Amino acid sequence: MIVIDGLTKRYGGHTAVDHVSFTARPGRVTGFLGPNGAGKSTTLRILAGLTPATSGTATVLGRPYHRLPNPGREIGVLLDASAQHAGRTGREILRVAAITMGLPRTRVDEMLDLVGLTQDEASRRVRDYSLGMRQRLGLAHALLGDPDVLVLDEPANGLDPAGIRWMRDLLSGYARDGGTVLLSSHLLHEIEVVADDIVVIGQGRIVAGGTKEELLAGTGTLVRCADTARLAESLAGAGHHVEHVDPADAGAGLRTDADPTTAGLVALAAGLALTELRTADGAGLEEMFLQLTAQTQRDAHARETAGAAA
């Protein structure tokens, strides 16, 4: 388990993280979202013992990172896949880590197989790796000690669609086996697919948090039928907000603030046969993210503009 409690980090007069609190629980993938400069990386660096906090705490399995007896056996961290030693081979990097953690050398080959790096690739210098290969090596390093907790920052960067699917399945399986996963990413769709819980940060403060279902419940319902105009009229007549998903396409469907059950009953009362009825989660996370962070991004832009004018 990861517990962030009242975490604050100031750099001079700038507050990068402002009383941040949330929990990432075992058996679940927690998505950590926010625009650039929101405080995600600072929070993760504090959690991983790389940056001291001004106040508040960040604990892993009940302890701050520096008090873990053998950190690599308890928390696996991947914050920057490009930070690996470029002059060493992938295998050498994992062997050094295995020795440090007191692990058998056989664990290195197990991890290389797990992340899909071949023997030839493992023998190459990291400077010759693609970004996707570095991501796989970084994940192998994070998983090497068989930790209970994983903390990953943008792990899908550089991966092709097959690699992203592989990453998604790996993290889901890790959580199903009881592990705790804290995943930061700008790929909103991937977070939406893999995350059980979501925490949204903006300008250093938590602006939303909860299960994926709870947060996306407010994104409305997608409903479609042959007579979109009549359906829109019926929903509006019942007091619900309605918008066309694609106004240029008569059959594109509608998004409404009514829940799926209510939307279905309205359509039934109007004698309309629906061809689609579901929570509007296809673009739901993106819309929720933009709504929750729009004010903080506007505030940041205003401050930057004011500073430039001064």
CATH number of the domain encompassing residue 72: 3.40.50.300
Is residue 249 situated within a structural domain? yes
Are 86 and 121 found together in one domain? yes
Are 188 and 230 found together in one domain? no
Mean of the pLDDT values across residues 74-88?
92
Mean of the pLDDT values across residues 34-56?
93
Are 229 and 202 found together in one domain? no
CA angle 202, 208, 213 (to 5 degrees): 135
Is residue 188 situated within a structural domain? yes
Predicted TM-score (pTM) of the model is 0.77
Are 51 and 74 found together in one domain? yes
Mean of the pLDDT values across residues 280-305?
59
Are 137 and 171 found together in one domain? yes
The per-residue DSSP string of 86-100 comes to TTSBHHHHHHHHHHH
Indicate the number of domains in the chain.
Answer: 2
Are 268 and 140 found together in one domain? no
Are 27 and 155 found together in one domain? yes
- The region of weakest confidence among 6-10, 49-53, 75-79, 155-159 is 155-159
**Per-residue CA distances from 278 to 3, 173, 190, 217, 239 (Å):** 34, 27, 19, 11, 19
Is residue 34 situated within a structural domain? yes
Which own/partner contact pairs does 100-109 have at CB distance under 8 Å and 24+ positions apart?
100/72, 101/70, 101/72, 101/73, 101/144, 101/145, 102/70, 103/144, 103/145, 107/144, 108/144
Is residue 289 situated within a structural domain? no
CATH number of the domain encompassing residue 268: 3.30.70
Is residue 63 situated within a structural domain? yes
Element (H, E) at 56: strand 55-60
Query: Could you report the per-residue pLDDT of 52-74, keeping only the tens digit for each?
Result: 999 999 999 999 999 999 999 99
Is residue 203 situated within a structural domain? yes
Look up residue 275 and give its two tokens. 């061809």
Query: Is 209 in a helix, a strand, or coil?
Result: strand
Looking at mean pLDDT, say which of 32-36, 58-62, 241-245 comes out highest. 58-62
The domain boundary, picked from 158, 188, 210, lies at 210
Is residue 32 situated within a structural domain? yes
Q: What share of the chain is helix, strand, coil (3-state, %, to 5)?
A: 45, 25, 30
Are 19 and 118 found together in one domain? yes
Are 130 and 248 found together in one domain? no
Selected residue with higher pLDDT from 130 and 303: 130
* Cα–Cα nearest to 255, from 209, 296, 211, 286: 286
Give me the half-sphere count of Cα atoms (radius 13 Å) on the Cβ side of residue 157: 18
Element (H, E) at 161: helix 161-176
Domain that holds residue 230: 221-279
CA distance 137 to 184: 18
Is residue 298 situated within a structural domain? no
Are 101 and 141 found together in one domain? yes
Token pair 């250093």 is found at 204
CA distance 87 to 245: 51
Are 24 and 148 found together in one domain? yes
Query: Could you report the per-residue pLDDT of 120-130, keeping only the tens digit for each?
Result: 999 999 999 99
Are 180 and 269 found together in one domain? no
